[in-house]
Amino acid sequence: MDIQLKKVHKSFEKKAVIKDISLVIPSGEICCLLGPSGSGKTTLIRLMIGAISADQGSVQFDEVKMPNRSMLSKVGFMPQNDALYDDLSAEANLEFFGGLYQMNKKELASRIEEVLEIVELTDHRQKHVRNFSGGMKKRLSLAASILHSPSVLFLDEPTVGIDPVLRRSIWEQFQKIKREGTTIVVSTHVMDEVSECDKAALIYNGELIQYDEVQKLLEKTESGRVEELFIQAAGNVQGGEAK
């Protein structure tokens, strides 16, 4: 399922947060929204999933304009802050989310087995979430977001605050989900994670400063590191203000 943004603009209290962003995310790819904290990545995700509406421009999934309730069953979302119930077990959390997606009991039971295996939490299914580590909560949040086999998966800073070994494991899980045909949009401020993606959208102060295949973006730099493109953008902004 392709995602198309056309001149999307969003302001809060008369301050522009997203500024005329246009891009197309092809079906079955991982697209990284990369930028420093406060650059507008979370707002852009909220616009794409239909949680908020754009002031100007449009968001479409294939030919369907967002927001659209009929698309909710096809979209998975893992928020930055874990939306889990601490007093429930991992399995009970997944049963709750399956009920929200109106999955039948047989389908839900089978799918819970699958997603717990994907995130390597099968042995902890009866453990209460309050006893989970931060990394385990991240993995359970991922399981909840893919429980209904969405066509498009949005991940907002999914690896923030976790150790490098677990980060590697989580990215391997993202790659596996992608191979199953899911389009993934992941926001991050960790520059090294761009190499895990097919395409990257570089967001700076609410603007799209670069969007291309990751390898092509890296070829635009002298150092082979994507940070260079942000430094160039910051220099251009300061140079423009100086004038």
pLDDT digit of tens for each residue in the chain (243 aa)? 899 999 999 999 999 999 999 999 999 999 999 998 889 999 999 999 999 999 999 999 998 999 888 888 899 999 988 889 999 999 999 999 999 999 999 999 999 999 999 888 999 999 999 999 988 999 999 999 999 999 999 999 988 877 888 888 889 889 989 998 999 999 988 888 898 999 999 999 999 999 999 999 999 998 888 889 888 877 665 555 433
Q: Is 176 exposed, middle or buried (0-12, 13-18, 19+ CB in 10 A)?
A: exposed
CB 185 within 8 A of CB 173: no
Domains of the chain, first to last: 3-242 (3.40.50.300)
Tokens 């999955």, residue? 103
